[in-house]
Amino acid sequence: MIQEILTYIIVFSATAYAVYKTVLFLTNANNNSCSGCGGQCSIKQELAQKKNIV
Amino acid sequence: MKLSQLKENEEGYITKIKGRGAFRKRITEMGFVKGERVVVVKSAPLRDPVEYFIMGYNVSLRRSEASLIEIITKEEIANLKEEKYNGILSDEEIKKTAKLKGKEIQVALVGNPNSGKTTLFNHASKSKEHVGNYSGVTIDSKLAQFKYGEYKINITDLPGTYSLSAYSPEELYVRKFILGELPDIVINVVDASNLQRNLLLSTQLIDMDIKVVIALNMYDELKKSGDTFDYDGLGKMIGIPIIPTVGSKGYGVRELFKKVIEVYEDRDPNVRHVHINHGQEVEKSIKKLQDCIWENKRLTDLVSSRFYAIKLLEKDSAAQFTLSKWKNWNEIEGIAKEEISRLEKLMLDDSETILTDAKYGFIAGALKETYKGNRKERVRLSDHIDRFLTNKYLGLPIFIFFMWFMFQVTFKLGNYPMAWIETAINWMGTQLDILMNPGPLKDLLINGVIDGVGGVIVFLPNILILFFFISVMEDTGYMARAAFIMDKIMHKIGLHGRSFIPLLMGFGCNVPAIMSTRTIENRNNRLVTILINPFMSCSARLPVYVLIISAFFPKYPGTVLFSIYLIGILLAALMAIIFKKTLFKSDEVPFVMELPPYRIPTLKSTLRHMWHKGEQYLKKMGGIILVASIIIWALGYFPRDVEYSKDYEGIISHLKEGKPNQEQAPLTQAQLNLNSSISKKIRTLEMQMKTEHQANSYIGRIGRTIEPVMRPLGFDWRMSVSILSGVAAKEIVVSTMGVLYQTNDQDKQMNEKLAQRLYDARYTYGPLKGKRVFNPLTAYSFLLFILIYFPCLATVVAIKNEAGHWKWAVFSVLYSTGLAWFVSFVVYQTGTLIGNLL
């Protein structure tokens, strides 16, 4: 029973995370700045740095 | 905030004076100095000028002038002091805060491509920007902030440029940044090993009359070559302090920023504005134009009239555009045309060439007095290596050999740590199997998380080794040679060598590679480079290649891997030819390709590059790969109540009842045989039940829906699902295979490598039932599909952003997936046909 509950929690959390990331990704896709490559490009770092300065 | 933003009766404290030359001097003399209180008295009826009260008297300034004075209000000071603020701010405290606020310096890094700007930037800001020994690494400006003593330094790394004309996007970008953002100090990074060419940009910065400090970078190379350079003398001569630095090792970086502060605070006695003498006739023309431009005071408060006059004589389109908005443009334009024609007739040359020649003359003169060259040996060494590596006949085979060698080592050397990681992952699985009771969570952890994430994480050593090689090739300068070698071939496919750099970068990740196409001026060439870039196998595809190759091509793994990369390059070339002949017809633009001297890469830089890549890979494991593995597992595990073709549970329990009881008495041989035969039957039934369940699960249904489309390529439904999941990120193909290709024998599952499980996988239904899913032909067809199909989502968005429209992203997705299907189909069907004939 506990195993089942934990499994459901993990699976739903993962799904929610995936949906959240997809929405975030699509929002970013439209603001013409970040492609959402997961930090592989330097732009993400640049944005983070800009944020720090502001 | 700016002084011009204050309303009537509001007050502020001066933190910084921007602007230049006469304006700066005049405004300071009027009492506008750091820490001084200024109050807005009133505005004129048309809101300009504005009367201000400062140092006990009233001064009137135009709004454009006031906008060059930065201030801080009492409220802002109170906010800054939130913790200590008790409602009262003493004058002394306010002045101190205003002065402190003025200690924030905006610094811009400019310099020639490959002069070491980014290395210097990284060192100063402790950042990890990518650095390579070829031009065009910086494709956008990058910002960082750090503290130096009580100063806060905001540093911007700008793209590399050879000059400040308006020919390339980088040049325009840098110019707009300097003129628009008005950085307090510009650090001009000069490559000490190539002074003459690097100093051309410095002469243009001198024309701009801004505060500059020169970082004489790679100074160690100059010293090593035996040259002597009196940089101090040159600095005094041109009125710009010069600080020797070695960006890669961090030498001189502290001194550089110390000097930046001194120049910012006007404490360096040697800083002055000099005029580069362009010769009597040119100077006459400049003066004539300047007189006219000076009438636009609001413009010349910001930008030097001499700079614009020179640019107009150079027929600079960006300068013409800026000045065309000012009132006496017609007059300025008339004089410019007249003077250009006079100079060209007089000197029988193009006006731009005349000015550039004059600048080079100035540089040559300055260097003659300060520089003594003894660089024959190093140049000879670089030349000597180049004679071999970029040889007309040997260049390409050597390049191909290096690539082949790189993949061979990636495979062979990577196998050892890979086996260690695999053992550790198997051990984890076994421990969980022993510790946990059967149930969904155990299944999720073992078959979902460990098989999914573990299946991908084993390839970390291969990724690190590949990046070690790429990093070494970039830092030594060999990559620039590779671009040089490929230049001729690139011309043959209608692109120029410059397009090769983004393609090379694509081996790492297609996203920054596509972004780096910004350095290509011609839009059609840029679009072609963007569209063919996904054929460069990015590092995310490497795990899929290594997995499939180690399972089906164990004899020649390096060669097969090399062939996949090579096919990617050839396909890119082929598509470029097709695109250039159909969609994007354009003329070639002449382009000079520079070859930086060979350098020994520092271990620190190589390791940092490797670690950066490894770090990203591990982050992906904990994020997208883990989430995808859980979701894929859940889609394969649910629903639990599928309809089976027979009552497996009933049959199994019936068989169990018929088993002789081992605990009662020692069993006879006949009973032992019966027991073993029943156990075997039960295992077979369990296997069939599990397979049938997986095929009827959610993921099975998805897979079987798309399977008919993929069947002509030799793919089963699990391969099809893996391909589908790889749309998010290519590594997910491996984690999905790890989850979907399970053996039904739990003991075997624990110890068997994913590669072995793929090898053993068989069809469980349909006409191919019982036959192996994979054979070398299917495997190769699968590898080709992974190479060519849908670039990952991040790449698609990058294509959209860089090409400026979704239609190109959609086009890229459709044509690449269509091409992947076609190529895999041809390879699989032709291979099968030949196999049948043989």
pLDDT band per the 50, 70, 90 thresholds, residue A42: very low
Contact call for residues B34 and B312 (beta carbons, < 8 A): no
Over 60: is that where the pLDDT of B750 sits? no
Transcribe B353-412 into DSSP letters.
HHHHHHHHHHHHHHHHHHEE---HHHHHHHHHHHHHHT-TTTHHHHHHHHHHHHHHHHHH
- Residue A13, min C-alpha distance to chain B (Å): 9
Tokens of B482: 């590779």
What does the pLDDT look like over B184-243, one tens digit per residue? 899 999 998 888 889 989 999 999 888 999 999 998 888 888 888 889 888 888 889 999
Measured CA to CA, the distance from residue B262 to residue B665 in angstroms comes to: 97
Q: Between chains, do A10 and B630 touch, taking CB under 8 Å as contact?
A: yes
Over 70: is that where the pLDDT of B300 sits? yes
The residue whose two tokens read 């970068």 is B505
pLDDT average, residue stretch B116-131: 73
Q: Between chains, do A49 and B142 touch, taking CB under 8 Å as contact?
A: yes
For residue B765, what pLDDT is reported?
A: 74
Transcribe A12-52 into DSSP letters.
HHHHHHHHHHHHHHHHHHHTTS----SS-SHHHHHHHHHHH
Residues of A with CB below 8 A from B616's CB? 38-40
Long-range pairs, B618-622, Cβ under 8 A, ≥24: B618/B457, B618/B460, B619/A38, B619/A39, B620/A38, B620/B729, B620/B731, B621/B453, B621/B456, B621/B457
pTM here is 0.60
Tokens of B770: 């019982």
Which candidate from A10, A40, A41 shows the least CB-CB separation from B444?
A10
- Residue A17, min C-alpha distance to chain B (Å): 8
Tally Cβ neighbours within 10 Å of residue B495: 29
Kindly list the distances between the CA atom of residue B327 and the CA atoms of B296, B298, B334, B504, in Å, as whole numbers in the listed order.
8, 12, 13, 49
Distance, CA of B120 to chain centre: 17
Length of chain A: 54
Tokens of B451: 């098989």
Tally Cβ neighbours within 10 Å of residue A2: 9
How buried is B509 (Cβ within 10 angstroms: 0-12 exposed, 13-18 middle, 19+ buried)? buried
Residues of B with CB below 8 A from A52's CB? 145
Q: Between chains, do A38 and B512 touch, taking CB under 8 Å as contact?
A: no
Distance, CA of B135 to chain centre: 13
| Pairing status of strand B185-191 against strand B104-111 | parallel
Q: Between chains, do B143 and A53 touch, taking CB under 8 Å as contact?
A: yes
The residue whose two tokens read 């732009």 is A43
Contact call for residues B132 and B475 (beta carbons, < 8 A): yes
- The contact set of A with B (CB < 8 A) is 2-4, 6-7, 10-11, 14-15, 17-18, 21, 25, 28-29, 32-33, 35-43, 45-46, 49-50, 52-53
Over 90: is that where the pLDDT of B568 sits? yes
Q: Between chains, do B619 and A10 touch, taking CB under 8 Å as contact?
A: no
| DSSP bridge pairs for B142 | B157
Residues of B with CB below 8 A from A36's CB? 793-794, 797
Determine the residue type at B68: L
- Residue A9, min C-alpha distance to chain B (Å): 10
Q: Between chains, do B800 and A29 touch, taking CB under 8 Å as contact?
A: yes
- Residue A26, min C-alpha distance to chain B (Å): 9
Measured CA to CA, the distance from residue B131 to residue B119 in angstroms comes to: 6
- Residue B126, min C-alpha distance to chain A (Å): 12
Measured CA to CA, the distance from residue B558 to residue B546 in angstroms comes to: 9
Measured CA to CA, the distance from residue B396 to residue B391 in angstroms comes to: 8
User: Nearest residue of A to residue B802 by CA position?
Assistant: A32
**Does residue A1 sit in helix, strand or coil?**
coil
Which candidate from B440, B512, B801 shows the least CB-CB separation from A42?
B512
Query: Chains A, B: CB contacts under 8 A, how many?
Result: 105
SS (H, E, C) B776-799: HHHHHHHHHHHHHCCCCHHHHHHH
Transcribe B47-70 into DSSP letters.
S-SEEEEETTEEEEE-HHHHTTEE
- Residue B631, min C-alpha distance to chain A (Å): 7
Residues of A with CB below 8 A from B801's CB? 29, 32-33, 35
Which candidate from A10, A37, A53 shows the least CB-CB separation from B794?
A37
Q: Between chains, do B616 and A38 touch, taking CB under 8 Å as contact?
A: yes
Measured CA to CA, the distance from residue B204 to residue B362 in angstroms comes to: 12
pLDDT band per the 50, 70, 90 thresholds, residue B377: low
| DSSP bridge pairs for B781 | none
Measured CA to CA, the distance from residue B469 to residue B617 in angstroms comes to: 17
Residues of A with CB below 8 A from B508's CB? 40
Which candidate from B140, B508, B794 shows the least CB-CB separation from A38?
B794
Which residues, at least 6 apart from B244, have a Cβ–Cβ distance to it below 8 Å? B192, B216, B219, B231, B251, B252
Residues of B with CB below 8 A from A45's CB? 127-129, 142
| Pairing status of strand B228-229 against strand B371-372 | antiparallel
Distance, CA of B441 to chain centre: 40
Which candidate from A10, A14, A36 shows the least CB-CB separation from B794?
A36
For residue B88, what pLDDT is reported?
A: 61
Measured CA to CA, the distance from residue B42 to residue B298 in angstroms comes to: 21
DSSP H or E segment with residue B605: helix B603-620
What does the pLDDT look like over B654-671, one tens digit per residue? 888 877 666 666 777 888
The residue whose two tokens read 């002449």 is B590
ipTM of the complex: 0.71
* Sign of the CA dihedral running B156, B162, B165, B170: negative
For residue B337, what pLDDT is reported?
A: 92
Residues of A with CB below 8 A from B631's CB? 11, 14-15, 18
Which residues, at least 6 apart from B658, have a Cβ–Cβ distance to it below 8 Å? B678
- Residue A6, min C-alpha distance to chain B (Å): 7
Over 50: is that where the pLDDT of B86 sits? yes
For residue A8, what pLDDT is reported?
A: 92
DSSP H or E segment with residue B107: strand B104-111
What does the pLDDT look like over B449-470, one tens digit per residue? 988 888 788 888 888 888 888 8
For residue B460, what pLDDT is reported?
A: 87
Which candidate from A7, A17, A41 shows the least CB-CB separation from B627?
A17
Q: Which of B435, B511, B617 to mutate to test the interface with A (most CBs of A within 10 A)?
A: B511
Measured CA to CA, the distance from residue B832 to residue B222 in angstroms comes to: 62
Residues of A with CB below 8 A from B509's CB? 37, 40-41
Residues of A with CB below 8 A from B798's CB? 35, 37, 41
- Residue B778, min C-alpha distance to chain A (Å): 30
Measured CA to CA, the distance from residue B75 to residue B449 in angstroms comes to: 54
Which candidate from B140, B511, B800 shows the least CB-CB separation from A40?
B511
- Residue B393, min C-alpha distance to chain A (Å): 36
For residue B133, what pLDDT is reported?
A: 44
| Higher per-residue pLDDT: A44 or B406 | B406
Tokens of B307: 């700079």
Over 70: is that where the pLDDT of B65 sits? yes
